[in-house]
Structure 1
Amino acid sequence: MTFNTNFSYAYDKPATSGTIKTCPEDFRVVELPDYSTSGSGEHVYLKIRKTNANTGWVAGQLADFTGTSNKDVGFAGRKDRYAIAEQWFSCYLPGEQNPKWEKLEVEGVELLDVTRHTRKLRKGDLSGNFFELTLQQVSPEPEDHQTLEVRLQRLRDSGAPNYFGEQRFGRDNGNLECADKLLKGCKSIRRNRDIYLSVARAYMFNHFLSTKISEESWSAISDDESGPMYGMSRDPRPGEDRLPGECERWCEGLQKLRVKTGSRNLKLKPRDLHWRFEGESLHLSFSLVAGSFATSALREVMDYKESDH
């Protein structure tokens, strides 16, 4: 099946180009917690710096090291794999259990801090993420810098469509293929059910927002306006009749699986956005609220490509 992931731009597609993630140091992420740890409790909290490592894989390595099950390891959100990312994990280790953390040796994993808390770290337990990005192979020409400056100022002032990033859909949209099978009743896909359900809902949300931009214009969307995260609903949700054809069966599947509906803000607004040019590089730093993707902000500035890994 072919999936359309060419979503509308807030204004127009950028003409200038660049490359992201040429090396891990070019894509840095720091998780911003929305809690304070108590220093005691049944859950050990670990601040990890991971390099070119998948968040779920790191969680599995921690489970193996501590002798716990994967379900006893928590994290607030998945971070980019091809990056240097700092984030917290929790491990359920009640009583006096205290592994010799200095013996934790996992490729691409560095332990920065250890403490304890009274509850497991769960998805969404963060206020946002801070990003430091370096784009390479950017034109050094003054007129191209001026074009990028205009787009960066517009991003700072007016934000960008709060699309789920393309990485959510997997390489060659492989995650969408699995989501399609799951929502059409394929039982062999059930193992990663929650992941593929989120992929399907992300795709549907992106299409809702893309259609709204093309039909109403970006300027007509207010800063606090939200759109539907499709799921179980007695009545059709807004925009459901204008989703791609494959989504009709998906709506039925979400109903059968009793997935709760939700909402998501239509705009993302970077906080403390700063930039500087250096030769053929563009350095960016900014913060985003939890759930927003740096690449969704970046696509409004530059027609970027990701380096081969």
Structure 2
Amino acid sequence: MTAVYAWGGPAGRGLIRARPEDFEVEEVLGHQPSGEGEHLWLWIEKREQNTVDVAGLLARAAGVHPRLVSFAGLKDRNAVTRQYFSIHLAGQADPDWSGWDLPGVDIVSAERSARKIQRGRLKGNRFVLVVRDLEADPDLLEQRLVQLRDHGAPNGFGEQRFGGNNIARARALFAGELRRKPSKHKRGFYLSAARSLLFNQVLEQRVHDGSWNRILNGDVAMLDGSHAFFVPQADDPDIEQRCRQLDLHPTGPLAGLGERPVSAAVAALEQSVFDAEPELVRGLEQFRLHHERRALRMRIGALEWDRSEPNTLTLAFTLGQGSYATSALRELITHDLPTQNRLGPAHR
């Protein structure tokens, strides 16, 4: 997203990810291993490793095909993160994982389960972030923190989603101009980046006109903490109140095949974004992605902050599945990265 802000702009600036321990992420899966079954669940802490690479390390260590290793979601690489992985070991005893040499990876615990971990099936993530070299107006910073805690933030896709050149490669993919056919994994990144760009452009317009946190006539509403959405009745008196309470959120498009359920001015706004990027829209349909919806607003759960150390701000909060900590942080401060991290993508 460009420099359009929901709450008036950042209260200052600071440095994030000065060290991996300054960006901690812990997965909130929402369910636990059953205790017995064909799948070995590993609770893992990783440091400066991306999730896909760790899955490959686990597959090699366990002597299984990479397809037999599963995880719920991608986590940041330039961070310390904790999440579950599962390994399908039908008819096999538990391997001696205590002897595995996995750089940057610590296996904290292991337990059997009847089911593998499903991709995308998680409740959210808990973050602890440290902002260093903080230069901010103390009163304005406090005001922004309270606004984020009480009213949430625009639910844009973070810069990690675009990986530097994923949009350019998506355009080349759709135009048939890639020199080599990408792997399924890389193609997924390109398609996701194209979808994310269109969503962010719609969200940017809704932030600009002040409707990102209001359900308009013609909108589609989504239940907080859920992917379930519906078209609210125009005369329903409870919709506005539930939206203020963050129980419901307005939604934006994840482009693909199928009719968009929005109407009136909301449909016109979304169509104007699609009309400006016809190659991306057609490309996503060509690859048979189906239209979905995503909440325009994120709830920032259990937000706590500490400014006891000089020029330092420590934040702790929970976000739902698919929401980006950096998208919430941009409403608070302009954040810089250490020089060595600026060129490296971080995965979530």
Paired residues for 1:158-177 under 5 Å? 158-170=151-163, 173-177=164-168
- Contact persistence 1:28–1:131 (CA under 8 A): yes
Equivalent residue number for residue 21 of structure 1: 17
Match of 2:197 among 195, 198, 203: 203
Amino acid at match of 2:167: L
Moved over 6 A (4+): none
Equivalent residue number for residue 51 of structure 1: 47
Match of 2:311 among 280, 283, 286: 280
Query: In 1, Cα distance between the equivalents of 2:161 and 2:38?
Result: 32
Amino acid at match of 2:251: S
2:192 aligned counterpart, secondary structure: helix
Equivalent residue number for residue 154 of structure 1: 147
Paired residues for 1:94-113 under 5 Å? 94-113=90-109
Q: Deviations over 1:114-170 (max 9, x none)?
A: 01112221222211111111000013x7xx111110100011111100001111111
CA-CA distance at 1:306 after TM superposition: 1.7
Q: Is residue 114 of structure 2 the alignment partner of residue 121 of structure 1?
A: no
Check 1:193–1:218 CA distance in 2 against 1; reply closer, same or farther (3 A cut): closer
Equivalent residue number for residue 90 of structure 1: 86
CA-CA distance at 1:219 after TM superposition: 5.2
The two structures have a TM-score, normalised by structure 2, of 0.81
Structure 2 residue ranges without an equivalent (≥5):
216-242, 341-348
- Contact persistence 1:208–1:227 (CA under 8 A): yes
Q: Is residue 73 of structure 2 the alignment partner of residue 81 of structure 1?
A: no
Query: In 1, Cα distance between the equivalents of 2:161 and 2:289?
Result: 19
Query: In 1, Cα distance between the equivalents of 2:65 and 2:275?
Result: 40
Equivalent residue number for residue 59 of structure 2: 63
Check 1:235–1:292 CA distance in 2 against 1; reply closer, same or farther (3 A cut): closer
Query: In 2, Cα distance between the equivalents of 1:112 and 1:48?
Result: 6
Match of 2:207 among 194, 197, 213: 213
Match of 2:320 among 289, 294, 297: 289
Equivalent residue number for residue 220 of structure 2: none
Q: Deviations over 1:145-196 (max 9, x none)?
A: 11110100011111100001111111xx312222222223346343122222
CA-CA distance at 1:218 after TM superposition: 4.4
- Contact persistence 1:49–1:109 (CA under 8 A): yes
1:260 aligned counterpart, secondary structure: coil
- Contact persistence 1:55–1:81 (CA under 8 A): yes
Equivalent residue number for residue 225 of structure 1: 250
Structure 1 vs Structure 2 CA RMSD: 1.9
Greater Cα shift, 123-132 or 7-16: 7-16
1:38 aligned counterpart, secondary structure: coil
The two structures have a TM-score, normalised by structure 1, of 0.91
Count of paired positions: 300
Query: In 1, Cα distance between the equivalents of 2:181 and 2:298?
Result: 32
Check 1:164–1:304 CA distance in 2 against 1; reply closer, same or farther (3 A cut): same
Paired residues for 1:180-199 under 5 Å? 180-186=171-177, 188-191=180-183, 192-199=186-193
Equivalent residue number for residue 8 of structure 1: 4
- Contact persistence 1:179–1:200 (CA under 8 A): yes
Check 1:234–1:300 CA distance in 2 against 1; reply closer, same or farther (3 A cut): closer
Query: In 1, Cα distance between the equivalents of 2:260 and 2:101?
Result: 52
Check 1:50–1:215 CA distance in 2 against 1; reply closer, same or farther (3 A cut): same
CA-CA distance at 1:233 after TM superposition: 2.0
Query: In 1, Cα distance between the equivalents of 2:277 and 2:44?
Result: 38
Query: Alignment identity in percent?
Result: 38
Q: Deviations over 1:3-49 (max 9, x none)?
A: xx415211332151001000011111110112221111111111110
CA-CA distance at 1:242 after TM superposition: 2.3
CA-CA distance at 1:235 after TM superposition: 6.5
Equivalent residue number for residue 28 of structure 2: 32
Greater Cα shift, 144-153 or 246-255: 246-255
Query: In 1, Cα distance between the equivalents of 2:174 and 2:86?
Result: 32
2:182 aligned counterpart, secondary structure: helix
Amino acid at match of 1:241: Q
